[in-house]
């Protein structure tokens, strides 16, 4: 019993905070980037406010390529880039880079989908009143799509949590690393299932908060 308590205090609890830190920071950064990418995609689409086949085609291709690369391979492939930014390729700070790069295209697609769900008649009405492109984007499209965007960001946050667990396999730390190193590889079922239970609880909390915010927004 004492051994379990020591393990919780010295290893599992700190790794939980590492995981939460990675989730918060990488979700924030990837959401900012994803929002920008999504807006450009929606605006330059063939049916967008400012159609531009070249910009849309290039951005669409880049997003598709990044989304097709498995996270583990991406994390390893950009190690020199990660090291050049944070000075190391291991630890939770280093994990933020590949997590952000992996999640941003995914979030961009989710937000793009939410923005395209906005009723076209609202956009046409805004145009008829002389609204500018920026006004239509921020005061009509984004405003109307906020509930849907919230649900999609909840999904994205849970996905990023899964990526943090995989990042543990390449030295990122967090619950994934603890479950793999101290649980699976050390044949310690207690540690492995404890980390699994914590991951399930974190997912439940994220989903609960996301649903609550969605209901309030609706």
Note the pLDDT tens digit of each residue in 90-126.
888 889 999 999 999 999 999 999 999 888 888 889 8
- Give the residue from 73, 143, 56, 144 showing the smallest Cα distance to 108: 56
CA distance 65 to 12: 35
| pLDDT at res. 127 | 85
Mean pLDDT, rounded, for 159-187: 81
| Residue 4 · residue 190 · CB < 8 Å | yes
Write the pLDDT tens digit of every residue in 150-168: 999 999 999 999 898 888 7
| pLDDT at res. 2 | 56
Mean pLDDT, rounded, for 8-12: 75
| pLDDT at res. 36 | 95
Domains defined along the chain, listed by start: 2-217 (1.10.3720.10)
């Amino acid at each position: 019993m004492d051994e379990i308590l020591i393990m919780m205090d010295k290893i599992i609890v700190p790794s939980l905070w590492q995981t939460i830190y990675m989730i918060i920071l990488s979700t924030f950064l990837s959401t900012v980037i994803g929002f920008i990418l999504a807006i450009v995609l929606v605006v330059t689409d063939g049916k967008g406010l400012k159609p531009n086949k070249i910009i849309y085609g290039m951005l669409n291709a880049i997003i598709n390529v990044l989304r097709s690369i498995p996270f583990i391979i991406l994390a390893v492939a950009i190690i020199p880039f990660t090291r050049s930014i944070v000075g190391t390729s291991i630890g939770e700070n280093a994990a933020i880079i590949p997590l952000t790069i992996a999640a941003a295209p995914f979030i961009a697609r989710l937000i793009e989908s939410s923005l395209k769900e906005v009723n076209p008649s609202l956009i046409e009405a805004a145009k008829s009143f002389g609204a500018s492109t920026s006004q239509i984007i921020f005061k009509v499209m984004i405003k109307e799509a906020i509930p849907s965007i919230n649900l999609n960001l909840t999904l994205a946050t849970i996905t990023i949590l899964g990526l943090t667990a995989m990042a543990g396999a390449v030295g990122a730390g967090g619950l994934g690393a603890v479950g793999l190193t101290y649980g699976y590889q050390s044949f310690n079922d207690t540690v492995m299932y404890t980390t699994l239970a914590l991951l399930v609880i974190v997912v439940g909390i994220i989903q609960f908060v996301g649903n609550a915010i969605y209901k309030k927004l609706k």
